[in-house]
Homo-oligomer: A and B are copies of this chain.
Amino acid sequence: MGSVHVQTMSKQYEVRIDTGLRHQVGALLKELLQPVSSVLIVTDSNVAPFYLKDVIQSFDESAVVYDYVIESGEASKSFSVYEQLLTKALEVGLDRKSAVIALGGGVVGDLAGFVAATYMRGIRFVQMPTTLLAHDSSVGGKVAINHRLGKNMVGSFHQPEAVLYDTDCLMSLPEEEWKSGFAEVIKHGFIRDEAFLKQLEKEWTSFKTISVERLNDMLARSISVKADVVSEDEQEHGIRAHLNFGHTLGHAIEAQLGYGKITHGEAVAIGMLFALRLSEEMLNVNFHIEQYENWFLQLGYRTKIPASLNRERLLQTMSKDKKVEAGTIRMVLLKRLGEATIVNIPPEKIRVLLDERMEGAHG
């Protein structure tokens, strides 16, 4: 079992990491959320058949527990599903002492968290991530829905009361999901914890055989990095932007391919290698990128920009990233392993390296 403490301006809370936590939710919430008048569990059509019943049964008979199952997938982070959830909350009579439980991956966490952030101007919520990728999104209080003109464009900062991470849920995930989530783990090493990065390189060369101990340890350490960053900068006025390492190009690749055509983590992996190369060019360092590229390939990642993508369109999306003010291309680079920095890059530099990192460019 692991535990990470998160301390922000607006709230402090604990991330518990352990097998079988889903069977203890009722008891844990009694301890963490007293008093709670009623609970709404939000989950999706993939997760519900496996874990919803366990969570419901963890409450004793006096508890008032409702649930709502959304369709799995990014399309549920919509205005209409958001409104449906608020309607459900009103119909069952959630009040200011109620809580929302987000049982699922990032989509469920973001959506249910935004419902909790805005229902009656904010009620409490608890994150129960069921994917590896959600180890990242469930910590830090960023909640949002999508707009057809942009992902996560409508949302809040609303910290959970607790994150309960039942690692049993990860064991049955397909390899694609491991790959997608593990890129964020590696990112945490790159931007803030070199020793952790080295350990990952040594211990994680495949997702085929994973021990619970190694998994819990890895999650606790990865979440610690996220928690530290969020503690220093809850609302992304400064160093929280370092978490975007690999994401400026990553988002552009996802957007141009169409969301869902490549996993988030795979796009971020390509973006991180690009950002390492750019760091070498801009900051006069040498990261021996071949070594990381080989590791990524061993883990099954693509490492180059898909050849079907258009360079100028990638560049345009990168410069319109919502983290970027009008015109300039600000990117997170590494000064050295474990230390990130933000640099304004001339588009010309980026063009050259986009070409270099295209599939087939060296081959």
Chain B residues, CB < 8 A from A95: 322, 325-326
Interface contact A122-B322, CB-CB below 8 Å: no
A97 an interface residue at 8 Å Cβ cutoff? yes
The secondary-structure label for the interface of chain A is: mixed
Interface contact B325-A90, CB-CB below 8 Å: no
Interface contact B153-A120, CB-CB below 8 Å: yes
Number of copies: 2
Q: A37-B325, A96-B322, A325-B97 are in contact. Are A121 and B155 (CB under 8 A)?
A: yes
A13 an interface residue at 8 Å Cβ cutoff? no
Q: A79-B79, A95-B326, A325-B97 are in contact. Are A118 and B86 (CB under 8 A)?
A: no
Interface contact A156-B117, CB-CB below 8 Å: yes
Interface contact A118-B154, CB-CB below 8 Å: yes
A87 an interface residue at 8 Å Cβ cutoff? yes
Q: Which of B91, B152, B156, B322 contacts A156 (CB 8 A)?
A: B156
Interface contact A153-B119, CB-CB below 8 Å: yes
Chain B residues, CB < 8 A from A121: 142, 144, 152, 155-157, 235
Interface contact B325-A157, CB-CB below 8 Å: no
Interface contact A154-B97, CB-CB below 8 Å: no
Chain B residues, CB < 8 A from A168: none
Chain B residues, CB < 8 A from A149: 87, 90-91
A83 an interface residue at 8 Å Cβ cutoff? yes
CB distance from A333 to the nearest CB of B (A): 21
Q: Which of B79, B90, B153, B326 contacts A153 (CB 8 A)?
A: B90
Give Cα distance in the complex from A120 to B150, angstroms: 10
Please name 4 further chain A to chain B contacts, defined as beta carbons within 8 Å, in addition to the given A37-B326, A118-B154, sorted by A numbering: A90-B153, A117-B156, A121-B157, A121-B235
Q: List 13 A-B contacts (CB under 8 A).
A: A79-B79, A86-B154, A87-B149, A90-B149, A95-B322, A96-B325, A97-B325, A118-B118, A118-B156, A120-B155, A120-B322, A121-B157, A156-B156
